């Protein structure tokens, strides 16, 4: 009897109550949020670059997963692994470490603007965007900002730069994401909105001259310690992946 009661309470704490997670409300653009000290969150992202023909390129799928740990009130660290599914093979392509520092007080819910800096190092094994320099690591830098309350109506943006740590034919790419969401009228835990994203290579590098622009709807749901978000972005222009869907899941332990 006691065991069944404890199990029921554990389940209720997971799926019921006020939303405590909801850390990613947009498909690709992160929100400036911060885990409390000592808290661990397991995150998983699944997305795809979907082409519609064999001329513009080959479709591929991606899986990002790993823990995020709150080190202090303003600093957290993520330890992600990445898998890539391309044609008939699936392989582990990278491991990384990312530090995230908040230039705001995470406890103060009255703040309108929340800036955050993210610095990451990614060790590539056989990353398709890194060939033929398969083992060359990347350095990533992102400035993230959220205007409004992350679990309510708000706008978030992400200005990012990725570069490899090798001279010569260097890979340097700029990313920009911006999106806005608002609570769905009939269900307060559900946020709906739209998102824009682009990726621009600043050098020719291994991936060539990339000029990718995307736009599409996004939605997120959070309840208790669990959050889910989904975006379906559509490529704009020629030689751009036609669809860029992403499903993200998170569980606060």
Which residues, other chains included, contact 169 with Cβ-Cβ below 8 Å and sequence gap of 6+?
203, 204, 205, 206
User: How many angstroms separate the Cα of 240 from the Cα of each of 48, 173, 200, 209, 236?
Assistant: 13, 16, 12, 11, 7
Q: Are 125 and 92 in contact (CB under 8 A)?
A: yes
The pLDDT, as a whole number, for residue 132 is 65
CATH assignment of the domain containing 72:
2.40.160.40
Q: For residue 31, give the nearest of 131, 114, 128 by alpha carbon.
A: 114
For residue 169, what pLDDT is reported?
58
Phi–psi pair at 25, nearest 5 degrees? -100, -10
Which SS3 state, helix, strand or coil, does residue 222 take? Answer: strand
Residue 121 confidence (pLDDT):
95
Separation CA 49–CA 35 (nearest Å): 30
CA proximity to 43, closest of 22, 23, 25, 67: 67
Question: How many CB atoms lie under 10 A from the CB of residue 253?
Answer: 9
Q: According to the model, what pLDDT value does residue 71 have? A: 97
Q: What is the pLDDT of residue 48?
A: 82
Model confidence, pTM: 0.84
State the pLDDT at residue 218. 95
End-to-end CA distance of the chain: 25
Q: Give the Cα separation of 89 and 50 in Å (integer).
A: 16
CB of 228 closer than 8 Å to CB of 218 = no
Q: Is the distance from CB of 158 to CB of 143 less than 8 angstroms? A: yes
Give the number of domains in the chain.
1
Strands (E), the chain: 40-49, 60-70, 75-78, 81-86, 89-102, 113-124, 138-148, 154-164, 172-184, 187-201, 211-223, 226-235, 243-252
Domain enclosing residue 23, as ranges: 2-252
CB atoms closer than 10 angstroms to residue 23:
22
Q: What is the pLDDT of residue 175?
A: 92
Mean pLDDT in consecutive groups of 10 residues from the start of the chain, 253 residues: 43 39 78 93 86 53 91 95 80 92 91 96 82 80 93 92 75 89 87 94 66 93 91 88 90 91
Q: What is the pLDDT of residue 135?
A: 81
pLDDT at 113: 96
């Amino acid at each position: 009897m006691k065991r069944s009661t404890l199990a029921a309470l554990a389940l209720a704490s997971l799926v019921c109550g006020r939303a405590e997670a909801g850390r990613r409300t947009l498909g690709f653009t992160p929100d400036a949020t911060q885990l409390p000290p000592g808290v661990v969150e397991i995150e998983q992202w699944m997305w795809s670059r979907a082409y519609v023909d064999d001329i513009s390129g080959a479709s591929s799928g991606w899986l990002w997963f790993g823990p995020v740990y709150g080190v202090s009130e303003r600093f957290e660290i993520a330890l992600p692994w990445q898998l890539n599914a391309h044609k008939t093979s699936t392989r582990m392509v990278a491991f990384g470490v990312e530090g995230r520092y908040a230039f705001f007080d995470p406890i103060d819910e009255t703040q309108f603007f929340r800036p955050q800096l993210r610095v990451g190092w990614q060790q590539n094994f056989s990353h398709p965007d890194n060939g033929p320099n398969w083992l060359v690591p990347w350095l990533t830098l992102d400035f993230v900002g959220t205007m409004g309350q992350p679990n309510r109506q708000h706008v978030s943006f992400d200005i990012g730069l990725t570069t490899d740590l090798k001279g010569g034919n260097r890979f340097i790419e700029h990313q920009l994401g911006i999106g806005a969401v608002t609570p769905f009228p009939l269900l307060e835990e559900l946020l709906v909105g739209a998102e824009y994203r682009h990726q621009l290579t600043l050098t020719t590098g291994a991936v060539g001259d990339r000029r990718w622009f995307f736009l599409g709807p996004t939605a997120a749901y959070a309840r208790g310690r669990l959050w889910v978000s989904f975006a379906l972005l559509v490529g704009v222009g020629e030689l751009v992946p036609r669809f860029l869907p992403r499903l993200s899941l998170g569980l606060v332990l």
